[in-house]
Every structure is written in C-alpha cells, then in structure tokens.
Amino acid sequence: MGLIDLLKKIEPDKKKSPFLHTLFDGFFTFAYTPDTVTKGGVHMRDGMDLKRLMVHVVLAMQLCYLFGTYNIGHQHFLAAGMYPGFIEGFHLKLAHGLIQMLPIFVVAHVVGLGIEFWFAAKKGHAIEEGFLVSGALIPLIMPPDIPLWILAVSVAFAVIIGKEAFGGTGMNIWNIALLSRVFVFFAYPTTIAGDEVWVSGYTTLAEGTQATYGWAHSLFNSLFGSLDMDTFDAAKTSIADGYSGATPLALAYQGGWEKVTETFTPAQMWWGTIPGSIGESSKPLIIVGALMLIFTKVASWRIIVSMFIGGMVMAMLMNVWGATPFMEVPWYYQMYMGSFLFAMAFMATDPVTASSTNTGKWIYGFLIGFIGMIVRVLNPAYPEGWMLAILFMNTFSPLIDHYVIEANISKRLKSA
C-alpha cells in the first residue's frame, strides 16, 4: 500500500497538467488493477481489463520476437557464407539482431504511444490501450533493414488516420499494424519488396559487398574481444558468390516448388531459418502463440480454423488448375511459405476489426484465406496476399455481421 500511496501523492493535476496526468494514469493503470469494481446484481464479473487482455497477446508474440531477432543475425552471416550452422556464431548473430530490432521496436512505440498520449490529453480521458498490441506487431511484420524515418511516418499514418480519426481504440475499422505495413508498401515499395530488403547490414546484395557496422557493433566488439570471442569484422564479412536473398515466395514465382527446394528445404521453411519479415518465419513458435491465444480465449478459434480451411481450399483449386508453376505448389507447403500462419494467428483474429458473430467469424476467416491465396498466387506484383485480404475483409466484417443478425432475426420470427 505504501507504494500506491506514494504514487497517488505525486499524481499530476488533471486540469493544470493534462498531458502529464494522462501519462501518469497510463502507467499507473498498467501496473495496478482498478480499485473500483462492479457490485450488486451484475451478471458478469471478471478480473481482466483491456490492458491485461492486450498483454496476453503481447506475451503470445514473445517467442516470435526471440527467434526473429536471432534470425536477423543468422541471415546476415549466411549472406556472407559465415557461420552456416544455426548455433554457430551465436553471440554475433544475437548481437546483430538486437542492434537491428531494438531501434525498430523503440521507434514504433515512441511514435505510436506519443500520438496516443497526445490525443488522450487533448480529449481529457485515460490512455487507450490498443496500441500495446499494434506496437508489438508492427516490428514483427517489417523487414529488418527498414529505414527508421519511413517506419515512423507509417506508424503515425496508421495511428492518426486509421485509429484516432475514427474515435480511438475500439472504433477503428482496419487493423492498425497492417495499415502501417500497407502504407510502407504503397508509399515506399522498394523498402518492403524485392530480394534485398530481407537481409540486413549490407548496402546491396551484390557479390563482394562488405557489411556496414556502426558504433553499436563496436561496443559489442569491446565486450566480445575481452572474452576472447569472435568479433564483427566488416573486412571479412561480405556477400558470398551466388547469394540472392530471395524468399521462398519469390522463388516460387520464378519456378514453382522445384525452384524453392533448390535453395530451401521444407525443414528450413518450417523452423524459420529463411529470409523474410522479422516475426513470420518460425511456424512452430507462431502455432504456440496461436494456441496460447485460443486457450486464454483472447482469439477466436473459429477465425483461425476457417481461415486455414479457406486457404487450403483455394490452394487445392490452384493445384487442380496448374496454369503456372506457383499454382502447382502443394497446398500444404503454401502454409510453410510467407506469413500465412502469422497473419492467421495475430492479424485476422483482431477482435475490433473482425466479425463479432459466431457465424460471421466462419465466413470472415474463410474469405480471408480464400482471397489471400488468390492474391498470393495470381498477383505477380505482390507475392503475399494476407495483408490485403485481411484489410479487405475488415471493411466488410460489419456487413457480414449485419446479414448474419438479420438472418437470425428472420429465422426466429418464422419460428415464433
């Protein structure tokens, strides 16, 4: 109780310092549950509030963060033909991954939360918690070498135009993290598409290009050198002969599954030791996160199952059609490539932008999988369809719920 009393004594005045009070309230309610609860004849009681609901989602992503951070360094050294074993050069790979990941994480949160705090202070209400999840998702769906100023602009666009313009948390039509990514894709496409953006630390992937290391690498070199461990050395780290940096999806476009397996094994794609967005690669860890969300009832299992069915059905139809090499990729390997599982677990299940009715969730998830697979396979300009499919279905989810409710009303009226 002493700590709470101390915090309440230093609480800024709401009228004199609205921004400081809003900032204080956000951190205070993040640390402590409310001291006022529903009493009397209420029919629902729960110790979970919105902040703690969001924390469950963030916790479910932590394995993706750990693996994604390490994989950044792993791909960096694979491009140079160094430390090919996953555990080889562990300290260097982890250090490089942290150097790349931490600025992305910090910029996304500083910009996004800063805007949220400012709007909350202007409106005179408590800080809304929705950006806890968006801020955690955005770094995971970006390439590791994204320019930080572009990231900042994309986050500001997503929060202001996609969220605050609609009234804040719970009012947004589209998934905020995906809006940030789609802004980068259309405004600065070369920073999020192609072969070169998925491997960090090089100005280009041309043969012989040396790595570019900064002051942070020098700090780690001081530590590693004192422990007689390998250090970062740009003179010895350069792009190996024949390295392309292409992702499995890009290779599938070029020559189907046969072309993919010339570079990557199914095991590599399953475990995630491949180039790609930071958090999308390790399929087992994504599944663990999805199961955690289902078990805690934070995410709808109906959306997850129906999206998988929708993607599977369309991929099977593509296999039957077989007009291009990409269409012939076995449907189950379509789930190995790209961000299908990540989008299914963490994006499509957003409770604000998804359908709310149980029947609507089945329709919503199925159409995301079905449409997303069409975009992935048939659109040569964009070899990944889940971002566009989810945003498209975000737009129609209220309409789906409307017709589901109307159908239920009509059915009950007939039976009455």
CA distance 107 to 193: 21
CA-CA-CA-CA dihedral for 173, 396, 371, 317, to nearest 10: 150
Please, what sign has the CA dihedral across residues 207, 250, 69, 265?
negative
CA distance 371 to 307: 10
Decide if 384 contacts 181 (C-beta within 8 A). no
At residue 130, the 3 state secondary structure works out as coil
Note the pLDDT of residue 14. 61
Note the pLDDT of residue 382. 72
Please, what sign has the CA dihedral across residues 11, 15, 16, 17?
positive
Counting every residue written for the chain, the total comes to 416
- 181-211: pLDDT as tens digits: 999 999 998 898 888 889 999 999 999 999 9
The answer for residues whose C-beta is within 8 angstroms of residue 313's C-beta and 6 or more apart is 369, 370
Q: Which two tokens stand for residue 88?
A: 């080889």
Q: Which residue has the tokens 């890009």?
A: 250
Q: Give φ, ψ of 15 to 5 degrees.
A: -80, -40
Decide if 121 contacts 18 (C-beta within 8 A). yes
CA distance 150 to 147: 5
Q: Give φ, ψ of 238 to 5 degrees.
A: -140, 160
CA-CA-CA-CA dihedral for 350, 24, 156, 177, to nearest 10: -20
CA distance 243 to 107: 31
Note the pLDDT of residue 128. 66
CA distance 146 to 193: 11
CA 142 distance to own-chain centroid:
8
Burial zone of 87 (CB within 10 Å; 0-12 exposed, 13-18 middle, 19+ buried)? exposed
- 88-128: pLDDT as tens digits: 999 999 999 999 999 999 999 999 988 888 887 777 766 66
Decide if 139 contacts 279 (C-beta within 8 A). yes
Note the pLDDT of residue 30. 57
Q: Which residues of the chain have pLDDT under 70?
A: 1-52, 125-130, 380, 383
